[in-house]
Structure 1
Amino acid sequence: MELLVHGVGGTTPEQMLGDPRTVRVTGDDTAAVYRRAEDTEAKDSHRDEPVQEAYVWCNLTSGDSSRALWLVLLPFMVVNLAHWMRPAAPGRHRAVRLYGLLVRLAALTLTVLLVAAACEVALDLVAWQCAGVHDCTSRHSWLAFLAPGVPAARAGHDTWWSLPGRRLALAALAPAALTCLLWYLSHRTWSAYESHRPMSHDPEPDTEGSALALPGFWYGRRIVARLRAAHTAAALLTVAAAVAAPPAAFDHRPGGPAALDVLSWLLTAALLACAVAAVAVVCRRGRSENLLDQRLDRQLVSGLPLGALALLLLTMVYAGWARPGWRSTGRLAGDPAFGTLMLAQGLLVVALAVVARDLYRRSPDPRAGMRGLSGPAVALLACALGGVMSGGVAQRVADWLDGTHALLPGPPVLLTWQASTIPPVLAVLLIVAAGLGMRTARLARAERDRVREEHPGEPEDPGRTHAIAQVRAMAALTDRAPLVVAVLTVTTLVLGAVALAGALATGKTPDGAARRTYDVMQAVAETSQALGSWLVGLGFILFVTWGRRAYKDASARRTIGILWDVGTFWPRAAHPFAPPCYAERAVPDLTWRMATWTQRTGGRLVLSGHSQGSVLAAAAAWQLPPSVRGRIALLTYGSPLERLYGRWFPAHFGPPALAALRRDVACWGNLYRLTDPIGGPVRVPDDTTPEVDHAPLRDPLAYGRTPAHPLPAPILGHSDYQADPDFARERARLLNRLRPELPRQRPEPVEPGVPTGEPG
């Protein structure tokens, strides 16, 4: 049998099997295995061609257009990627655990940052600043009931909601609702994805292989539940702290009410104790991969968020207490909180870089992205993305509330400076894009000579030569991704330092000759801040629109599908609010199907994976028991196993892991094209076995018109590998090498009362 696994963008079973009549053999509407209708009753043990089955998993990552909102969770997904990007370090268990701990703490700061930004918008800008100014509430009539001094029932006094503490308590419902929404999405996807149990088998004795072979790797149910409880509690505590801080500052003044002063200190102590408990949960040991950990810390999972919610409710009651003479003026003290968060994230990223560099020096891999620093770089970009989104949204809302820019103090200075970094980042990206464009043009000119050399004796067609060379040069851009990430990382560091320095220098006007320079810099900063504010609003609209289109349009999905499918391939080991891991459903599906089919029939099986499907195929092969793994042939084509995963995730797809997979499966063949921007050679470092990588396939199949190709052959790039004649030859070669001593396939038994399939 040949089990086909499709790649990025998905496809239909009819397209995969080349037949309009297909039958679902096993599975559901989300992911299933299909056969041709004529093969459902195939029991002929002497057929020469293998029976084909198609595993369709595209519904795991697509679906209705509402899933486009998952793109808003991009910072969480990116920081989760950093967890899996650590360098390979056999035997360095303590350093590996420290690396995971630092990433989990950085992920926790991102949750706090997102909720703190929501608090800044709802509590500070809306409830504290705008609702406390009559000119602002007159422009926004929906806030009139919160304005102080508005006549109520024809009596000239404040309304019940106009007291500052009650306005804060009411506004706190918005970030609390956001937290509940994140909890709900995480819990729902946790029940749907992390609930699928992999096949149970003993841990692999080979410590030099990949951790993907461990029985508990694709079962992160316990750690996601623990992290969800901790992050939910931290988010609710952030809201509670934002509500409690202003009334506590008022109560601590000399001559303030003693009872409220004592209550504020008790609430502060309770909030700190609960925060320490949440951080302690995050600091506990991470994933249990050596065993299938089926336990759930039910008391912790339910008790910690409920305790934080109770403290939030108490804080809202405390803030709503009447305090004569208390008025909302200026802005809330958000700069120290956001500055502390930014400093904590910087220190965590620096510590992560030190650990990653130490791990890399113990086992250097020249092909690894950024020499082992890809994980810290991606973690920094996740923090920067969260900061830019927070600052941009806060600045955009402030501009919307304060049309004249004279009514409100606006968001904290640090958030304003973070929003101002958006135009410089875009400018750097344009410069990088221009540089890559020039390099691509030079590479295309060099490729033209190679294309001419590959087709000697054929009439020259300059247009055809240029098209082939251009596609090859564009495909090579994938290998420049580490450079782009490195440039973005350096830019982020520099702009982060500028933003912090600008926030600290705000309000300190120099004298003398330095005044003119200061005025110029201030004007540039204000222009950048305004432009950044509008770019955030435009970017958010484009973000969601592009995401909705990606789930409806296959071509648009392929454009962003690489990053998205790579990001959601990995389990949620660092951030529980990241989009769910589809592989925790797909890998057990494939493993169960292969293991049960070989056990029932004793037949030979070719596991055939295209693009991202080749990564799922490799992960499923690792999860098979060794006795079954030795009966499997692996055929990959257009595969990013080494080109993307091996370079960016060396601990799990590095040279030792791929070499171990080659030794464990019966045989392995890999096909790729020079015009493919995703697939490439797997470069298995093992000279004792036959070559895994096939020579690069011809693309196009014919340069000019030939009797076999009377019309111009298309440049296929990443698609239609099965249309190449070398594909069928490679599959036949693998079948011939699949343990010739194995008996012919036994007829697959049909259980009584169980239908053979459903029409597809």
Structure 2
Amino acid sequence: MLELRVHGINNTAPAELLDLAAADVERVAGDRLGSFWTPTPAALDRLRREMDAADRRGFVPRRIRREAYSWGGLVRTTPEPTGPGGALVAGLARVGWALLLPFSIANAAAWCWRLPTDGRTAALSARAGLVRLFGVLLTLLLSTTVTSVAVDLLAVQCYAGGSLVCTVLPQPFEALALWTPGRRMALFSLVPVLVVAGLWLLSGISRLRYDVADRYLDARDPSPPADSAGAQGTGGPLLARPQFWSSRGETQRLSLGHLAAGLSLVSVELGAQAVVDGGGFSLNASTGVSGGLLLTALITVFGTRTLLVEGVASSSAGRWQTTLAGLCGAGYLATVGLLLAGRAPTGGVGASARSGFTVAAVTLLALVGLMLAIIASSVFFRRARAGAERRFEAWHGLAPAVFLSLALGIGLVLSSLVTVAAGDWLNGGSGASALLGSGPVGAEPAAAVRAICADTCVAPDPRLTVPMLYPWFGGVALILFAVALLIVGAALVRPRSVARRVAAWTPPSPADETSAADQPMPVGSAAELLALLGPVRDRKRATAARLHLVEPAVAIVAGAAVLAVLATEWLSWLYPQLSASPVPAEVRAAWIGNAGWVRAWLDVAMGAWAGIAALALAGLVFPAGAGRSTRPLAIVWDLACFLPRAGHPLGAPCYAERAVPEVSRRILWWLRPESEAPATGRREVVLAAHSMGAVVSLAALFSLSSHPEWTRLRPRMSLLTFGVQLRPYFGRFFPELLGPAVLGSTPCLRPRLWAADPWAADASAGATPVPAADTAAAGPLVPARRWVSLWRATDPLGFPAFSNRRDVNPIDEFADEIDTSGYTGAVGGHGEYYRTRQYRSALADLAAAVRPGPD
């Protein structure tokens, strides 16, 4: 029997997953991205001959081949940290991947809709098109941010009167003072173009390295799997379709649309600002053409079908996207050519003394306004259904709106930090409030000060401005996020107790049966160990219950993000108008002169965001675990990057596009008669999957369920999961992919924010199985002979896979919370389930044989 262990969120190293020392394991297949490991023959022989071998860590019974699949290298892969230089590069790579987090979160929203499997795709295409449109607007937000810094600040505002006024810049920038503003704009516009093109190239490279399903699995026409048909109408589960993990063509077409839109937006901003500064007819015409291409790119992205249930086009249907990207590139080159040819004003005063609604500010407000409109529309795109069903879906069916709100909030935080930090540095450290503009009418901008200053004057600090949305968002968001964190913090400090629910799963312990009249407990007995570690266990249970409140906590943070964006959008439109001369003087005084505390707060807020960013980046650059490949933001990353990039093609690559086919191929390698391995009787496989590894393993099983030989191979396939989030997270967030109708589990109610036990309501009789599930057999919809899942109350990321109720639950088993396999006892958490008695018993049971003892 092959026992194939698949790790989860913590990216457990192969040696730790096999519970052995690093010198006792060896790689038998794969590369640094995904690999399979086994104990060395010497380690196996030594373990089997030691005293009490069956109870020692890492012991492998005879007739079992134990392997560990390591897929952690697929998640935001970084260079090997060899030496100080390599560690720095690896840290910077982790930071770079973290900056793409908004893209990955937005991509997850594409899979939260009701995904029909019966051919009715019109409504789905419209909803998916909205997510794709939101995704390209996020890309344009990044492009606008870089353009504001590179073109507006560096190329234009840092130069006045033929001189460089941003004295913090190095000497080579002084030579550019002799250039016209238009030529500097053309030169510095290469920065946003290179950023967008670099992301497009990175997306293409990751597709070549990750999308291997067509090489690992047979490319077959989708057909209802024998074991899973009926779970979702006539089409079967989406994960059972062979093409689900082969999305290279769709991602490529969508990425070309993003490239085209990014190039067009840079052209539009360059041309429009040059026109505002006094450009001629040729620039007007070029800007108009670029604007038309930008609109065409947005429509193309909206209509590019990327979800399998939309009926995606063939891989050769990307010619239009390629042509469009070429046209947008030509439009950008034409605009740059006009600027270099001098088709723009040569004076620096008019171009430098900017205030109010600049092209960059209007572009930013328009982008954010469109994204807010998409979020609002997603609220009304929910398919009408009974309210009783919505309570089994995340945020009552508003998961797309929540994911999009988080993506927009995080994206604006990052954009504000980059823009305000760059502007403040170039501005001589005047603070974020100075970047809002001149303030009261009459204040002189940098160009005017430079004009009245003699050549011998000491140049004053520049008076740069940035789009007002950036500093305003930093100040408003910090207040609202602080309020949200206070609400979440108040819920977290509330006393928690899960003893009543756990009591239904566990028999009375020795300590519970001991009374004051009993004899003293023997030294080293289970009762004494429980008495010593019982308080620690209870504290870990309470902590785990608090950390289970992910869904309501995320809803609060997402709501704060939307309110912050709405308030910032309103302030960004209002502030320039109240600063204008037609407004009565007393109004301006009340708004600006007497509101110095508002400006002071903006300075404090951006400083606080800078500190938060520094701490977050430090945590990314310096891994916390020595000898362990720690992955920051693991839960968010694993949720967001598990799915193909159907909503945003430029985010972190989907690790499952390679992990799922690799696990599937390894199973077939072991089970099929034509396998490379020697045929020695009947072979079986137990997939032992931890945390996110269970999601990968289930996806692999569903992908195999449409294999022509799976009807014969299925009885030799079993599943053993532990510490999983299938039911409360994936089942509620993505019901069509891993919901109760697919897995045959009971639907899950949301955790209660203020209840002592967040899952008390779910454990009551209110949560009943869906009609498709057979509670007597449990899990018949999963394409495996049998499924056993372990959980414990001290696990902050582990839940029952079938139901929170012990009765009528043939899948879940409660695992030991106190680990006695080491030198000293310890209370277990999210890992090391394979050290428990329940794991060994389940493994022996699934192997259909009594666990053999050591020879």
TM-score band (shorter)? 0.7 to 0.9
SS in 2 for 1:736: coil
SS in 1 for 2:256: helix
Q: Which moved more, 1:117-126 or 1:551-560?
A: 551-560
Residue 456 in structure 1 maps to residue 456 in structure 2:
no
Q: Deviation of residue 368 (structure 1)?
A: 2.1
Q: CA, structure 1 residues 67+195, in 2 after alignment: closer, same or farther (shift >3 Å)?
A: farther
Q: CA, structure 1 residues 60+585, in 2 after alignment: closer, same or farther (shift >3 Å)?
A: same
Residue 96 in structure 1 maps to residue 181 in structure 2:
no
Residue 731 in structure 1 maps to residue 820 in structure 2:
no
Residue 317 in structure 1 maps to residue 337 in structure 2:
yes
SS in 2 for 1:84: coil
Where does 1:424-443 land on structure 2 (aligned, <5 Å)?
424-439=479-494, 441-443=495-497
SS in 1 for 2:831: coil
Structure-2 residue corresponding to 1:34: 37
Structure-2 residue corresponding to 1:752: none
Q: Deviation of residue 11 (structure 1)?
A: 3.1
1:402-450 Cα distance to aligned partner (Å, 9 max, x none): 12447324101222212223421441243034213322x3448999999
Residue 646 in structure 1 maps to residue 731 in structure 2:
yes
Structure-2 residue corresponding to 1:722: 834
Which consecutive unaligned segments of at least 5 residues does structure 1 have?
Answer: 149-158, 253-259, 703-707, 739-760
Residue 467 in structure 1 maps to residue 536 in structure 2:
yes
Structure-2 residue corresponding to 1:190: 207
Q: Deviation of residue 75 (structure 1)?
A: 0.8
Structure-2 residue corresponding to 1:741: none
Distance in 1 between residues matched to 2:320 and 2:170, nearest whole Å: 44
Q: Deviation of residue 52 (structure 1)?
A: 1.6
Where does 1:248-647 land on structure 2 (aligned, <5 Å)?
248-251=275-278, 260-262=280-282, 264-273=284-293, 275-277=295-297, 279-288=299-308, 295-297=315-317, 299-300=319-320, 302-322=322-342, 323=344, 326-327=347-348, 328-331=351-354, 332-355=358-381, 357-358=382-383, 361=386, 364-403=389-428, 404=430, 405=434, 407-439=462-494, 441-443=495-497, 454=509, 455-458=511-514, 464-507=533-576, 508=578, 518=591, 522-550=595-623, 553=626, 557=630, 560-600=633-673, 601=679, 602-624=682-704, 625=707, 626-627=710-711, 628-647=713-732
Distance in 2 between residues matched to 1:548 and 1:138, nearest whole Å: 31
The amino acid of 1:313's aligned partner reads: L
SS in 1 for 2:306: coil
Residue 74 in structure 1 maps to residue 101 in structure 2:
yes
Q: Deviation of residue 554 (structure 1)?
A: 6.3
SS in 2 for 1:14: helix
Distance in 2 between residues matched to 1:654 and 1:187, nearest whole Å: 31
Structure-1 residue corresponding to 2:194: 177
Q: Which of 112, 130, 154 is 2:158 aligned to?
A: 130
Q: Deviation of residue 144 (structure 1)?
A: 4.8
1:485-533 Cα distance to aligned partner (Å, 9 max, x none): 2111221222222212212221416769877864598334323322233
Distance in 1 between residues matched to 2:805 and 2:250, nearest whole Å: 36
Structure-1 residue corresponding to 2:262: 235
The amino acid of 1:493's aligned partner reads: V
Q: Deviation of residue 686 (structure 1)?
A: 13
The amino acid of 2:541's aligned partner reads: R
Q: Deviation of residue 685 (structure 1)?
A: 11
Distance in 1 between residues matched to 2:558 and 2:316, nearest whole Å: 38
More helix by share: 1
Distance in 1 between residues matched to 2:135 and 2:738, nearest whole Å: 24
1:200-252 Cα distance to aligned partner (Å, 9 max, x none): 34534225153111111111101110111111111111111121112223456
TM-score (norm 1): 0.84
Distance in 1 between residues matched to 2:38 and 2:628, nearest whole Å: 26
Identity %: 25
Which consecutive unaligned segments of at least 5 residues does structure 2 have?
Answer: 46-60, 80-89, 435-460, 515-520, 522-527, 674-678, 745-772, 774-778, 851-855
Distance in 1 between residues matched to 2:644 and 2:625, nearest whole Å: 25
SS in 1 for 2:788: strand
Q: Deviation of residue 31 (structure 1)?
A: 1.6
SS in 1 for 2:165: helix
Distance in 1 between residues matched to 2:159 and 2:30, nearest whole Å: 55
TM-score (norm 2): 0.76
Q: Which of 162, 166, 174 is 1:145 aligned to?
A: 174
Q: CA, structure 1 residues 279+51, in 2 after alignment: closer, same or farther (shift >3 Å)?
A: same
SS in 2 for 1:30: coil
Q: Deviation of residue 692 (structure 1)?
A: 1.0
Distance in 2 between residues matched to 1:447 and 1:330, nearest whole Å: 67
Distance in 1 between residues matched to 2:728 and 2:353, nearest whole Å: 54
Q: CA, structure 1 residues 394+292, in 2 after alignment: closer, same or farther (shift >3 Å)?
A: closer
> In the alignment, is the contact (CA less than 8 A) between 2:278 and 2:345 conserved in 1?
no
SS in 2 for 1:358: coil
Q: Deviation of residue 98 (structure 1)?
A: 2.1
Pairwise CA RMSD: 3.5
Q: CA, structure 1 residues 368+606, in 2 after alignment: closer, same or farther (shift >3 Å)?
A: same
1:674-713 Cα distance to aligned partner (Å, 9 max, x none): 111111111269999971111x2231157xxxxx99x652
1:154-200 Cα distance to aligned partner (Å, 9 max, x none): xxxxx2x2x11011111111111212221221111111112442523
Q: CA, structure 1 residues 701+329, in 2 after alignment: closer, same or farther (shift >3 Å)?
A: closer
> In the alignment, is the contact (CA less than 8 A) between 1:339 and 1:414 conserved in 2?
yes
Q: Deviation of residue 74 (structure 1)?
A: 1.0
> In the alignment, is the contact (CA less than 8 A) between 1:193 and 1:584 conserved in 2?
yes
The amino acid of 1:58's aligned partner reads: G
Aligned length: 706
Q: Deviation of residue 5 (structure 1)?
A: 1.1
> In the alignment, is the contact (CA less than 8 A) between 1:418 and 1:496 conserved in 2?
yes
Distance in 2 between residues matched to 1:725 and 1:179, nearest whole Å: 53
Q: CA, structure 1 residues 679+688, in 2 after alignment: closer, same or farther (shift >3 Å)?
A: closer
Distance in 2 between residues matched to 1:489 and 1:3, nearest whole Å: 38
1:360-386 Cα distance to aligned partner (Å, 9 max, x none): 659825332211112211101111221
